[in-house]
Amino acid sequence: MQGVTAAAGFRAAGVTAGLKASGKPDLAVVVNDGPAQAAAAVFTANRVAAAPVHWSREVVKDGRVDAVILNSGGANACTGPEGFQDTHRTAEEVAAQLGLSATDVVVCSTGLIGERLPMDKLLGGATQAISVLSEDGGPDAAASIMTTDTVPKQAVRTGSGYTLGGMAKGAGMLAPALATMLVVITTDAALNPGQLDVALRAATGVSFDRADSDGCMSTNDTVVLMASGASGVTPDQAEFTELLAGLCTDLALQLLADAEGASHDIAINTINAASVEDALEVSKSVARSNLFKTAIFGNDPNWGRVLSAVGTTQAAFEAQDLNVAINGVQVCRRGGVGEDRSLVDLASSRDVLVTIDLGAGSSQATIWTNDLTHDYVEENSAYSS
């Protein structure tokens, strides 16, 4: 069993509604058959949020979600009151067909901003998806939410008598809080909405929030977590949170590995920081430096561009204490030249590890990012999204 149907109590489906010009699957439904319908969610921090985000924020407020409908092929963002009515109507139709309340149906959309969805196609697809809901439908659902993704993303974790499963959509355009992505996570653990909310915020804070592909924040990002209680097991909160964080990190790294046009996956680990906040600020500043990211694309271990980015932060450090290692080679020592940069091999692996030692404390944090490549420019100049 895979993805969102790995945990007991869930059915899913993915179908072709005709929203995408490509004719590929573009609509998914995930239903929680219970016995419980506890839920929590986090949404984009973007103040220009899409209609489905406005709707779904209200839906999850009471901690109950019975079903999620997701579409690719259109973001339904910046579509005015009509766009919100489209989302509302979608939830009403799904609810009617499943015998639920519309206010328990989360709606997620992804695709081009600024265009109305073709509602006839979307609602037809919803009917079709509901007719084929299955306890094996996870992979179909994961495939149908892809946009520029080249592979579907799913993950599963097993706890003490319960299971967690999830699917994610996203490929580049990723940034903290959150990436341009839709994520549905299911579990058959018995947890109440408050417990789910605490666990989800902790887990996303160390996973999706630390993935920063291109610094851009989307209008549609949604991570929804549903618990059916079908296992009858109420897990230890710490264990559950750790499993959930692991599953979220797994999905986040799958998103980065599939980032549009990237040729390197870069982990930027800031160590010996005065605080986790400092470590995050430093790692993010490097992750957002186009100069650093183009250098990595060119297989150039240009540590000067790392220091230049670090120097723009407010973190506690002295410039003459900074050490930087790239793939284990200490290219910068005490703010100056260290080992020979030609010792760094960036060409033979996709993975790059940059370690920045601030020498100012004992905290650390990692931000994951990608290099900036010709293919990134090509995909994002040619693809209207």
HSE-CB for 290 with a 13 A CA cutoff: 6
Positions 198 through 217 that interact with its own copies (CB under 8 A): 214-217
Q: For the chain, what's the residue count?
A: 385
39 vs 204: CA distance, rounded Å: 15
List the one residue from 22, 158, 237, 312 that touches its own copies (CB under 8 A): 312
DSSP single-letter state for residue 110: B
Q: Is 180 annotated as a binding residue?
A: yes
Q: Does 272 bind its own copies (CB under 8 A)?
A: no
> In terms of C-beta density within 10 A (0-12 exposed, 13-18 middle, 19 or more buried), how is residue 24 classed?
middle
Q: Which of 87, 180, 204, 241 is catalytic?
A: 180
List the one residue from 6, 130, 307, 356 that touches its own copies (CB under 8 A): 307
115 vs 21: CA distance, rounded Å: 14
List the one residue from 313, 323, 364, 370 that touches its own copies (CB under 8 A): 313
Query: 3-class DSSP state for residue 316?
Result: coil
Q: Are the beta carbons of 32 and 186 closer than 8 angstroms?
A: yes
List the one residue from 23, 47, 58, 342 that touches its own copies (CB under 8 A): 47
Segment interacting with its own copies, rule: CB under 8 A, options 26-34, 152-160, 244-252, 330-338: 330-338
Q: Does 113 bind its own copies (CB under 8 A)?
A: yes
Positions 120 through 149 that interact with its own copies (CB under 8 A): none
Q: Does 251 bind its own copies (CB under 8 A)?
A: no
Alpha helix (H) residue ranges in 206-260: 237-257
Name which of 71 and 186 has its Cβ closer to its own copies. 71
213 vs 317: CA distance, rounded Å: 26
Sheet holding 351-357, edge to edge: 336-337, 329-333, 323-326, 351-357, 265-273, 363-370
CB of 48 to its own copies, least distance (A): 3
Q: Mask: binding to its own copies, 143-182, rule CB under 8 A, as x and -?
A: ------------------------------x---------
Size of the site for its own copies (CB under 8 A): 63
Query: 3-class DSSP state for residue 165?
Result: strand
What's the chain's Rg over C-alpha atoms?
Answer: 21
CB of 92 to its own copies, least distance (A): 22
Q: Does 342 bind its own copies (CB under 8 A)?
A: no
234 is catalytic: no
Q: Is 169 annotated as a binding residue?
A: yes
43 vs 205: CA distance, rounded Å: 12
Residue among 360, 357, 301 nearest 333 (CA)? 357
203 vs 245: CA distance, rounded Å: 4
Q: Does 276 bind its own copies (CB under 8 A)?
A: no
Name which of 24 and 116 has its Cβ closer to its own copies. 116
Q: Does 382 bind its own copies (CB under 8 A)?
A: yes
Task: Dig out the tokens for 78 from the structure.
Answer: 């910046």
Please list the active-site residues. 180
Q: Which residues make up the interface to its own copies (CB under 8 A)?
A: 45-49, 75, 77-80, 83, 112-115, 173, 214-219, 288-291, 294-295, 297-298, 300, 302-305, 307-313, 317, 319-320, 322, 332, 334-337, 341, 372-374, 376-378, 380-382, 384-385
Binding-site annotation: residue ranges for substrate:
147, 169, 180, 260, 380, 385
